[in-house]
Amino acid sequence: MAAFSKRTGKKVRPHAKTHKSPVIARMQLDRGAIGLCCAKLGEAEVLADAGIGPLHITTEIAGQPKIARLVALRRRADVMVAVDDMEVARALSDAMRAAGLVLDVLVDVNVGQERTGVAPESAGELAACVASLAGLRLKGIQAYEGHLQHVYKEAERRAKWRDCADRMLRAREAILQRQLPVEIVSTAGTGTCAFAAELPEVTEVQAGSYPFMDCDYAKVEGLPYETSLTVLASVVSRQRGDTAVIDAGWKALSTDSGLPVVKGRPDLQYAPKGDEHGGVKGARLAPGERIELVPSHCDTTVNLHEQYVCVGRGTVEAVWPIIARGRIQ
C-alpha cells in the first residue's frame, strides 16, 4: 500500500477498524500513511491515548453523550469527523464552540452503500451549513463504497465502482458550485483503491483490510495482497469419525462472510459446532494437533481476540495486544 501511494500520488489513511492496534497503526504511519481512520469513538480514544494521529472517525457521531466524548477527544488529539445531518452538525458546532475548539468535517455522501451519507445532490446544501458554523471547518467529502469491496470479478467491480464515482463527483461539484472548499475527497477500500487512483479528484483512500486480508477477500480478483491472519486452534476430540473437534467456534471465528478455511489443507473443511467448538472434516487428526484457520472476515474476527502472536520464519517474534477490541461505542 505504501508503494501504491508513492506510485499514484494518492494519500493513504488506513482504517484501524481492521486491526484495532496502535502498534500496527504506528507501522502504517512510519510507511507514509497520513493518519488513521476509526470506525468508532472508542477506537479513536485508544489510538489517541497511544499518541497516534491525526484521526478521522468515519461513522457519524450524534447524541450528547458521544458529542461530549468527542469534545474531550478533540482537546487532546487532531480529529476529523463525517457528518450527514444539519442538526447534528449544529450540535457538534455548539459543543466545540463552548469548548473553544474547532472540528474538521467531511460531508458524508451516499454513493450506493445505502447506509450513512446524504444524496449527492444534497451535498452542497449540507456543506454550506457546515461552512456557516463557527465550531466546524469544512474539509471536503467522504464517499465510501464498502458494498463493492468483495465483488469478486474485477470487471464487475470496476463497472459498479464507476457508478459510485459518478455520484462522488456530482457531490464534489455541488459543493464547488457554492464556492466552498473540497480539499479532501476520501474514498475507496482495499478492493477499489486501484480504481480510485485513476481519478485526479480523489485525494486519499481508506483501505483497511490489506495488512491481513481473509479467505473471502482472497477471492477478489486483481488485488496484490495475500492473507496473513490466521487463528490457531487445537484438536480436543476425535470421537466423531473423520470429523475432529477443535477449540474454535463462534467466539473465535466470525462467520458473517462465510466459513474459514484451513490454511494449507484444502482437503479439510471447517464447520462451526457452537460457541466454543468447531468441526474439521476430512482427516483423522489427533487430540492436541494444531491447525491454522484463515478467517472469512478479518475485521470481525480480530475483535474477538486479545492479542496477535506475530510469527516469522517459524519463530514467535512479538506479541501485540489488540487494545481497541470491543471498543464499538
The grid coordinates of residue 312 equal 516469522
Beta-carbon-side half-sphere exposure of residue 287 (alpha carbons within 13 Å):
5
Residue 56, helix vs strand vs coil: strand
Euclidean distance between CA atoms 212 and 191, whole angstroms: 13
- pLDDT tier, 11 (very low <50, low <70, confident <90, very high otherwise): very high
In tens, the pLDDT along 118-142 reads 999 999 999 999 999 999 999 999 9
For 232, residues 6+ apart whose C-beta sits below 8 A from its C-beta are 290, 291, 292, 293, 309
pLDDT computed for residue 112 by the predictor: 97
Give the whole-number percent of the chain exceeding pLDDT 90: 98
DSSP 3-state of 15: strand
pLDDT per residue as tens digits for the range 277-320? 999 999 889 999 999 999 999 999 999 999 999 999 989 999 99
User: Could you read off the pLDDT of 241-260 as tens digits, one per residue?
Assistant: 889 999 999 999 999 999 99
Q: What is the mean pLDDT of the chain?
A: 97
The reply to whether omega before 224 is within 30° of 0 (cis) is no
Q: Within 10 Å of residue 8's Cβ, how many Cβ atoms?
A: 16
| Planar angle of CA 157, 34, 178, nearest 5 degrees | 70
C-alpha 36/C-alpha 236 separation (Å) is: 40
Residues 204, 36: Cα–Cα separation, whole Å? 11
Q: What is the DSSP letter of 120?
A: G
pLDDT band with cut points at 50, 70 and 90 for residue 197: very high
Euclidean distance between CA atoms 12 and 207, whole angstroms: 7
Residue at grid coordinates 480510485: 196
Closest CA to 148 of 137, 136, 138, 160: 160
3-state secondary structure of 272: strand
Cα angle at 29 between 24 and 32, to 5 degrees?
A: 130
Q: In the Cβ-directed half-sphere of 161, how many Cα atoms lie within 13 Å?
A: 26
Over residues 199-230, the pLDDT tens digits come to 999 999 999 999 999 999 999 999 999 999 99
pTM greater than 0.75 (yes/no): yes
- CATH code assigned to 231-321: 2.40.37.20
Give the pLDDT confidence score for residue 239 in this predicted structure. Answer: 87
Domain spans of the chain, in order of start: 2-216, 231-321
pLDDT score recorded for residue 284: 85
84-113 average pLDDT score = 98
Per-residue pLDDT for 240 more than 90?
no
Residue 189's pLDDT is what? 98
pLDDT on residue 242:
87
Could you tell me if 209 and 293 are in contact, meaning their C-beta atoms sit under 8 angstroms apart? Answer: no
The pairing of strands 36-38 and 55-57 is: parallel
- Give the model's pLDDT for residue 269: 97
Residue type, 274: G
Grid coordinates representing 294 are 484463515
Closest listed residue to residue 103, CA positions, set 83, 125, 119 = 83
User: What is the C-alpha separation between 249 and 130, in angstroms, rounded?
Assistant: 46
Q: What is the CATH number of domain 2-216?
A: 3.20.20.10
